[in-house]
């Protein structure tokens, strides 16, 4: 059905200009676009790409934290972490469902992920080496995710916007549980504080990279802003994240690993040092510390879950056949 693959919005279009202009007027009037509405092919493809990649990120994002469920330091921490990781699984499912409303199946999206064609967030290609990494992920990774996702609650595509409302509520709890872990460690023994600082040092820059390339290198940014899929640019959201995170680090007595970080009175924002974009693109292209393991884990889960998918489908078909037989008998 999708001979060109799902990834990459087709920007060239044969759709007539009157149709595109009328669609843009709906967007500019802040109308929500719903699944059965006519929409430009590029809009549909951009959403499939972004929502699909977002869904994959939630599911792959279960792996780094899943690594610590059996080693959580207390029952309370374990229960909270289990709930958080389950939430991420749920977010993935809402998002796959939102993408399915655009005429793509979950199988197709998963195949693109496993074939290395569909991306997922760069952040999940880093290892979780200590318990403090679980705090750093909640605080920084969920914190960055919220900063990016709150504006997505106002995305022009109805099903994506509505899915984001619940996702953001849950991410807010995730961010707090992570920050509380970091606060506890930072106020603990010198060794515990050192663990927290080390985790912050390793997760800070990759968290800034989550927002995507600089606006000047953001291939889809301008069009997605015009279509009101994105409400802020990558750099705007990154700056908001830095501005809100600096006081949080100061409050718990940890130091952000950036000697150039400084409040700029004139701009009313923090200035920060350069991001290592070579590292970002290396990780995005599959060369990060954990890319291979992450995709292998997804492949294994997909293969080993085949019987569950087949059984669920067979059960649904049997129920449907039984319902139809009962209906015929009643007529």
Q: Which residues bind ligand FAQ (CB under 6 A)?
A: 7-8, 49-50, 53-54, 57-58, 61, 88, 119, 121-122, 137, 141-142, 145, 148, 209-213, 218-221, 224, 234, 284
When the beta carbons of 50 and 197 are compared against ligand FAQ, the nearer one is 50
Residue 113 C-beta: closest distance to ligand FAQ, Å: 12
When the beta carbons of 50 and 245 are compared against ligand FAQ, the nearer one is 50
* Crossing angle for the helix pair 106-114 and 75-100, to the nearest 10 degrees: 110
When the beta carbons of 142 and 258 are compared against ligand FAQ, the nearer one is 142
When the beta carbons of 202 and 220 are compared against ligand FAQ, the nearer one is 220
Residue 22 C-beta: closest distance to ligand FAQ, Å: 24
Closest CA to 58 of 7, 98, 5, 18: 98
CB 104 within 8 A of CB 52: yes
Residue nearest to ligand FAQ (CB): 61
Sign of the torsion formed by the C-alpha atoms of 206, 139, 60 and 292: positive
Other CB atoms within a 10 A radius of the CB of residue 118 amount to 21
DSSP E strands, 248-298 = 262-264, 269-271
When the beta carbons of 197 and 218 are compared against ligand FAQ, the nearer one is 218
Residue 168 C-beta: closest distance to ligand FAQ, Å: 10
When the beta carbons of 220 and 298 are compared against ligand FAQ, the nearer one is 220
Alpha helices (H) along 150-276: 158-186, 190-209, 221-226, 234-251
For residue 95, give Cα distances in angstroms to 75, 92, 99, 166, 190. Answer: 30, 5, 6, 11, 42
Residue 324 C-beta: closest distance to ligand FAQ, Å: 40
Residue 100 C-beta: closest distance to ligand FAQ, Å: 17
Residue 226 C-beta: closest distance to ligand FAQ, Å: 12
| Distant-in-sequence, close-in-space partners of 25: CB < 8 Å, separation ≥ 6 | none
Output the six-digit token pair for 290.
């954990």
When the beta carbons of 121 and 197 are compared against ligand FAQ, the nearer one is 121
Residue 213 C-beta: closest distance to ligand FAQ, Å: 5
CB 211 within 8 A of CB 230: no
Closest CA to 233 of 221, 216, 217, 220: 221
Output the six-digit token pair for 254.
């940890």
d(CA 119, CA 52): 9
When the beta carbons of 232 and 270 are compared against ligand FAQ, the nearer one is 232
Residue 45 C-beta: closest distance to ligand FAQ, Å: 10
């Amino acid at each position: 059905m999708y001979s060109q693959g799902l990834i990459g919005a087709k920007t060239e279009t044969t759709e007539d200009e009157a149709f595109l202009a009328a669609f843009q007027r709906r967007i500019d009037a802040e109308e929500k676009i719903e699944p059965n509405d006519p929409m430009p092919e590029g809009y549909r493809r951009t959403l499939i790409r972004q929502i699909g990649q977002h869904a994959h990120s939630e599911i792959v994002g279960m792996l780094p934290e899943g690594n610590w469920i059996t080693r959580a330091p207390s029952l309370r921490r374990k229960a909270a972490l289990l709930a958080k990781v389950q939430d991420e699984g749920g977010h993935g499912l809402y998002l796959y469902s939102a993408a399915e409303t655009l005429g793509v199946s979950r199988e197709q999206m998963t195949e693109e992920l496993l074939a290395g064609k569909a991306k997922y967030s760069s952040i999940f290609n880093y290892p979780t080496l200590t318990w403090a990494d679980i705090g750093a992920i909640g605080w920084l990774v969920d914190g960055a995710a919220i900063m990016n996702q709150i504006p997505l609650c106002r995305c022009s595509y109805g099903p994506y916007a509505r899915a984001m409302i619940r996702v953001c509520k849950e991410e807010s709890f995730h961010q707090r549980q992570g920050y509380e872990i970091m606060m506890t460690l930072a106020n603990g023994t010198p060794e515990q504080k050192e663990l927290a600082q080390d985790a912050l040092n390793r997760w800070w820059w990759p968290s800034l990279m989550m927002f995507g390339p600089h606006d000047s290198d953001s291939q889809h940014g301008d069009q997605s802003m015009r279509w009101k899929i994105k409400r802020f640019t990558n750099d705007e959201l990154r700056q908001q994240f830095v501005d809100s995170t600096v006081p949080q680090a100061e409050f718990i007595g940890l130091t952000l690993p950036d000697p150039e970080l400084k409040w700029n009175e004139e701009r009313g924002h923090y200035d920060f040092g350069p991001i290592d974009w070579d590292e970002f693109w290396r990780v995005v292209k599959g060369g990060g510390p954990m890319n291979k393991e992450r995709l292998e884990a997804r492949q294994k889960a997909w293969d080993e879950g085949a019987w569950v998918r087949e059984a669920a489908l067979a059960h649904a078909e049997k129920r449907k056949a039984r319902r139809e037989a009962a209906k015929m008998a009643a007529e």
